[in-house]
Amino acid sequence: MNMTHYMSLLASNQPWNLLIFMAIPVICAETLTISEFFIIFNRIKSGGIRTLNKVVSIFDGFYFTGIFIYLFTTAVIPLTKTGGWHTWVDVVAVGFYLSGVIFLLPLALLELGLIFKNKTDDEKMKIHFILVGGFLVVAHIAMIFGMVNPEIISSMGTMDSMK
């Protein structure tokens, strides 16, 4: 079976690629989501859950930025130069996966106080929640498209029975 580069990356070098590129960032995002709900509903400003949320936000933001830089230079650029993409589904899967950096890096920078300095605590809490949610959305879109067999898409153009 032909597969997207996204799934190929996760399937090769088992279990390391799965852990490095999927498990760590997604487990961190799920930890953030759960702790985020506790923080928001209980208006937690300090303490263990808030500290956990802050540390995981900073770690995941910089960790995923490293993944983005690595995969962009070693996969996206070479695949684009050589025309090695497996249909548009492959581009969508990889593109949405890597777009996670748009949400996770600002999360780390927010927690370090480098951006949104003039926002109130409530405004920062909303921004934090939106960033975590945004990452979960793009990660799930990447997973869905990443699981599609690109052969299905490329052979759909020749389906005479559908005309």
pLDDT, tens digit, for every residue of 135-149? 999 999 999 999 999
H-helix segments, the chain: 5-11, 16-18, 24-42, 48-71, 77-82, 87-98, 101-111, 121-146, 150-156
Q: What is the pLDDT of residue 105?
A: 98
In a domain, 115, yes or no: yes
CA–CA separation, 89 and 93 (whole Å): 6
Half-sphere exposure of 12 (CA within 13 A, CB side): 7
Positions in the chain short of pLDDT 50: 156-163
In a domain, 158, yes or no: no
In a domain, 161, yes or no: no
Contacts of 20 by beta carbon, 8 Å cutoff, 6+ apart: 67
Q: What is the pLDDT of residue 155?
A: 64
In a domain, 147, yes or no: yes
In a domain, 72, yes or no: yes
In a domain, 157, yes or no: no
In a domain, 162, yes or no: no
Q: What is the pLDDT of residue 24?
A: 97
Q: What is the pLDDT of residue 47?
A: 96
In a domain, 58, yes or no: yes
- List the domain range (segments joined by +) for residue 60: 5-152
How many domains in the chain?
Answer: 1
Closest CA to 148 of 105, 93, 111, 94: 93
